Amino acid sequence: MPANILNLPCYKVLGIQENEHDYHIDVEAAEPPTSCPHCQSSNLVGFGRREQMVKDLPMHARRVGLYIDTRRFRCRSCGKTFYEALPEIDEKRLMTKRLAQRIGKQAIKRTFAGIAKEVGCTEFTVRAVFSDYVNELEKTTRFETPKWMGIDEIHLIKPRGVITNIQNNTIVELLPNRNKDTVVRFLHHLEGKERIQYVAMDMWMPYRDAVRAVIPQAEIVVAKFHVVRMANDAMERVRKSLRESLTPKQRRGLMHDRFVLLKHECDLNDKERLNLDGWTKNYPELGEAYRLKEQFFGIYDAESPDDAQAKFIQWQKSIPPEIADAFADIERAWGNWTMPIINYFNHPVTNAYTESLNGLIRVMDRLGRGYSFDALRAKILFAEGARKHKPSRPKFERQERRQPEPGPVMMHGLPGNFKNFEMADSFARMVPKPAPEPKPCIPTSTESGIPEKNYGADISTLIRMIENGEL
Residue 112: strand pairing partners: none
From residue 375, alpha-carbon distances to 144, 165, 311, 370, 456 in Å are 22, 21, 47, 10, 17
Cβ at position 31, least distance to Zn ion in Å: 19
Residues 349, 341: Cα–Cα separation, whole Å: 11
Cβ at position 87, least distance to Zn ion in Å: 21
Is the CB of 78 or the CB of 274 nearer to Zn ion?
78
- If DSSP codes are grouped into helix, strand and coil, which group holds residue 291? helix
Q: Answer left, alpha or beta for residue 48, where phi above 0 means left and psi between -120 and 50 means alpha.
A: left
Cβ at position 29, least distance to Zn ion in Å: 19
**What letter represents residue 462's amino acid?**
L
- If DSSP codes are grouped into helix, strand and coil, which group holds residue 414? coil
Is the CB of 44 or the CB of 210 nearer to Zn ion?
44
Residue 339: how many CB atoms within 10 A of its CB? Answer: 12
Is the CB of 36 or the CB of 103 nearer to Zn ion?
36
Torsion angle of C-alpha atoms 191, 197, 200, 205, degrees rounded to 10: 80
Residues 262, 315: Cα–Cα separation, whole Å: 19
Cβ at position 47, least distance to Zn ion in Å: 12
Residues at the contact surface with Zn ion, assessed by CB under 5 A: 36, 38-39, 41, 75, 77-78
Cβ at position 66, least distance to Zn ion in Å: 28
Is the CB of 75 or the CB of 221 nearer to Zn ion?
75
Is the CB of 39 or the CB of 274 nearer to Zn ion?
39
Is the CB of 75 or the CB of 211 nearer to Zn ion?
75
Query: What's the sign of the alpha-carbon dihedral 59, 135, 183, 215?
Result: negative
Is the CB of 73 or the CB of 334 nearer to Zn ion?
73
Cβ at position 77, least distance to Zn ion in Å: 5
Cβ-based neighbours of 239, under 8 Å, separated by 6 or more: 254, 258, 261, 286, 289
Cβ at position 35, least distance to Zn ion in Å: 8
